[in-house]
Amino acid sequence: MLANYLIGLREGLEASLVVCILVAYLVKTGRTDKLPPVWAGVGIAVAVSFGFGAILQYGSTTLTFEAQELLGGTLSILAVGLVTWMVFWMRRTARHLKRELHGKLDQALALGTGALVLTAFLAVGREGLETALFVWTAVQAADDGTGLPLVGVLLGLLTATGLGWLFYRGALRINLAKFFTWTGAMLVLVAAGVLSYGFHDLQEARFLPGLGTLAFDVSSTIPPDSWYGTLLKGTVNFQPDPTVLQVIVWVAYLVPALTLFLAPGRVAPTQAAPKEHQSDDVEAPHAAQGVGRPVGRSAADADRMRDGARRAGDRPGGAEG
């Protein structure tokens, strides 16, 4: 359950931050009339993501056992590949996410309503489809006959939505680089377990050999139905009797992926950034406006107001001069 909560929190927060940044930018620049197309794009992306998840869940039930395992294993490998790419991409661009989205939104505003809908759809839909795929494969890997994996995912998504709302209202600030570094490292560990289980699915589908060749079996020491066995299964997808291929895949993925992710070149963005990049944490519309920048006025108007105030203050006698 904990692993699925992490997936829901991490992926849901990415989508929440995107929506927060898009909405805050439009509010700060006084373009609130452009909000409905953005919300329309977000709604379409959410609907498509839920539809994709439903197709995966109910479509696979009509297949034979071997076909289900083959599909599950293939999608697990695909999901791990997508999540790994997203983890590294977000780790590298977390500090510049707001600036990048602002540029795309400016282009969409110049093109019209349809472009706004498409921008919001693509920005949220990518996280939504990735979440649906990875959550489905993670639920399959952690299947214990209960609804706990789905409960964990839903709780993670609800937490991410609440955090997104707090960011927008200015009640919470977060260092995106540090947050995505630590959660990304944990997600790499979860992905290693999902990948290992995906190869086990391919073995059960008789697509790969070695199903009966176990690397070790500690089921008597760590029973799968014990509380600590369930905890290990829910956090890192631990299996007490993995095959040799599963262990090889787990190590071959986890060691290089985690080493590259935590390498100094990846950690560098958490160090002191140039002054122009230090304000890239998520800001609420009200907190980010600053002195002399009321809602509805452009940035240029606010800058002129501040320049005038400074000139007045430099005259002898202050504002009265």
Tens of pLDDT, residue by residue over 242-253, are 999 999 999 999
* pLDDT tens digits along 187-218: 888 888 889 988 999 999 999 999 989 999 99
The whole-angstrom separation of Cα 315 and Cα 311 is 7
Q: Write down the mean pLDDT value for the chain.
A: 75
Count structural domains, the chain: 1
- Residue 319's pLDDT band, with cuts at 50, 70 and 90, is very low
Q: Is the pLDDT of residue 266 over 50?
A: no
Number of Cβ within a 10 Å radius of residue 303: 12
In a domain, 70, yes or no: yes
The whole-angstrom separation of Cα 216 and Cα 236 is 17
Distance of CA 191 to the CA centre of its chain: 13
Q: Is the pLDDT of residue 19 over 70?
A: yes
In a domain, 50, yes or no: yes
Return the pLDDT at 242: 92
Amino acid 24 reads A
Q: Which two tokens stand for residue 255?
A: 């060691």
Number of Cβ within a 10 Å radius of residue 9: 22
In a domain, 152, yes or no: yes
Amino acid 37 reads P
Q: Which two tokens stand for residue 226?
A: 């014990």
| pTM of full prediction above 0.85 | no
Q: Between vectors from CA 77 to CA 74 and to CA 79, what angle results, nearest 5°?
A: 105
In a domain, 69, yes or no: yes
In a domain, 154, yes or no: yes
Q: Are 70 and 146 in contact (CB under 8 A)?
A: no
According to the per-residue pLDDT averaged within each range, which of 33-47, 75-89, 132-146, 244-258 is highest?
Answer: 244-258
Amino acid 84 reads T
> Greatest CA separation found in the chain?
90
* Best CA proximity match to 207, nearest among 101, 68, 104: 68
What crossing angle do the helices spanning 65-93 and 176-204 adopt, rounded to 10°?
A: 160
Beta bridge partners, 243, equal: 214
The pLDDT > 70 percentage for the chain reads 73
Q: Region 84-112: what's the mean pLDDT?
A: 75
For 247, the enclosing helix (H) or strand (E) is helix 244-261
In a domain, 15, yes or no: yes
b/e per residue 248-281 (b: at least 16 CB within 10 A)? ebbeebbeebeeebeeeebeebbeeeeeeeeebb
* pLDDT tens digits along 24-39: 878 878 888 888 888 8
* pLDDT tens digits along 300-309: 555 555 555 5
Q: Is the pLDDT of residue 71 over 90?
A: no
In a domain, 150, yes or no: yes
Q: Is the pLDDT of residue 315 over 80?
A: no
- Residue 212 carries which DSSP code? T
Beta bridge partners, 214, equal: 243
Full domain range(s) for residue 215: 2-270+283-288
In a domain, 140, yes or no: yes
User: Which range, of 62-71, 120-129, 196-205, averages the lowest pLDDT?
Assistant: 120-129
